[in-house]
Structure 1
Amino acid sequence: MKKILFDENAVYHTLTHFEALDDKVRAQLHSAGFDDESIDAQLRAAGSKFFVSFARSPQMVVEKLIGMFPRRFEHASVDVDGRVRLSFDCKENIGTQKIIDETELMVEERLTIREEKRGGYCVRTVQTDRMIPTRICQLILTINDGDVETGYLCSLFPGELAPPLFSPEGGLDPYWKTHLFIR
């Protein structure tokens, strides 16, 4: 893959994974019709977050990943759904994740487990003030018309890649029986 393009809607979607935003990218989003109120709401939204010290935009994250792992981009393979999913271990903490394995919970945290509706689905959540640092970064790109030289940003976030809530066969994916969202 030689080029990665950043559609403004995809950039806007990924803002939930940032604590702050680079001024140049904010200006690009303004030009695309996004106002400060909606941009700042995305930045404040709950979710895994990249540390400001690591990056302040999706473009900065991708630039760092290309610099750290150039061969991963040269040999990226496309999944059957037309997406490229790349997972990187950055060897140092780059942010926080908002999913936790139930076995890692402290006794008092277990008492806060509850079910909530998110995106129309019931999910298990837990309250904790602990920050769960992560060295892992996920980058998901789409490929158009089989052009494997050009990727389009689809999603980007710190933390492990979790499966969809429901498996293709129907029913809750087994992963979600042991993992919870942090609220």
Structure 2
Amino acid sequence: MISANLGCDEFREQVFKEPFEGGLYIVNGDTTVESEKELEAFFEKEIFLEWPSTKFGALIVNTEKGRITGWDNIQKTALTYCVSKEFGVRYSTVVLEMANASAVWETESNIDYIHVQRLDDNCTRNITDVVFDVRPVGVGGKYLARAFFPKYARANRSLLIDLSAFNHSPKQQADANRNIKARTWSHTRVPA
């Protein structure tokens, strides 16, 4: 855990930034931060003031001016996504796991996830016909998976799964799948 005794510059040096075009900062293991300005705000609020989201296991939600943000009542009924065929032999597993996770969240809340399979052959961060994309990434285990907050621009609304997430024993994989589902969908929380 990063100490509140660090200054903002030292904190920034310890934060992982994804090494590809459009890469985001990753804090708390899998929470995304879009810009350096937001990273500084995160430092002030979460590290320097030691807010509870920095404690392992806390649910992370996005807030603006003290209010929880999320999908509006129209958006939440059509959260469309594509799954990249770049997963190769793991593509069908990812499609199945996404369907399973989506079904759980659809049962628990008034939202609807829609897999737009026709876009899977060209599923990138630049596809505007979906709300978000699901793609593989190679970040050497810096995280297993990461998602996004609803306020992010389309190009930054990607659910990225590190290829290392697939290199576990069956028990580790089951645990990782549960963690990926829980963390991924908690970031797309819909306000009550």
TM-score (normalised: structure 1)? 0.29
Structure with bigger gyration radius? 1
Higher helix share: 2
**Which is bigger in relative contact order (C-alpha 8 A, separation at least 6)?**
1
Higher strand share: 1
TM-score (normalised: structure 2)? 0.28
